[in-house]
């Protein structure tokens, strides 16, 4: 009996689209819904898979292109920037219990 977790599917694999490249060479991509890990491929065609963390301390180049209060995520390993998915609601508000 085959494990359904590893079953072959006909759905295409989602890829984060490249939105822009900053002056220093940093890539800016758009996340897809529920994305938590970086999908950037390195020099040896190996997946980075670093965690995407909310980033608040971005520089002037990012502020000029995306605004002062932009919702930006950054990979903790390769430092690629990600914009939020348009299909998810923004996470800029504070959580209330």
Bridge partners, 27 (sequence order): 21
Q: How far is it, in rounded angstroms, from Cα 78 to Cα 23? A: 16
Query: Cβ distance 84 to 33 under 8 Å?
Result: no
> pTM for this one?
0.79
26-35 confidence digits (pLDDT tens): 999 999 888 8
pLDDT of amino acid 66: 92
Per-residue pLDDT at 4: 73
Confidence of residue 43 (pLDDT cuts 50, 70, 90): confident
* pLDDT at position 16: 76
Give dist(CA 5, CA 8) in Å, integer. Answer: 9
Helix (H) or strand (E) holding 81: strand 81-83
Asked if 28 and 82 count as a contact pair (C-beta separation under 8 A), the reply is: yes
pLDDT at position 17 over 90: no
Q: CA–CA separation, 8 vs 17, rounded Å? A: 24
């Amino acid at each position: 009996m085959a494990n359904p977790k590893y079953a072959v599917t006909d759905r295409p694999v989602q890829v984060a689209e490249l939105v822009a490249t900053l002056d220093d060479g940093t890539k800016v991509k758009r996340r897809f819904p529920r994305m938590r890990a970086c999908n950037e491929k390195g020099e040896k065609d190996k997946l980075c898979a670093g965690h995407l963390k909310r980033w608040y301390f971005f520089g002037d180049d990012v502020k000029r292109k995306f605004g002062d209060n932009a919702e930006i995520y950054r990979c903790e390993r390769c430092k690629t920037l990600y914009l939020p998915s348009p299909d998810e609601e923004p996470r800029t508000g504070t959580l209330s219990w």
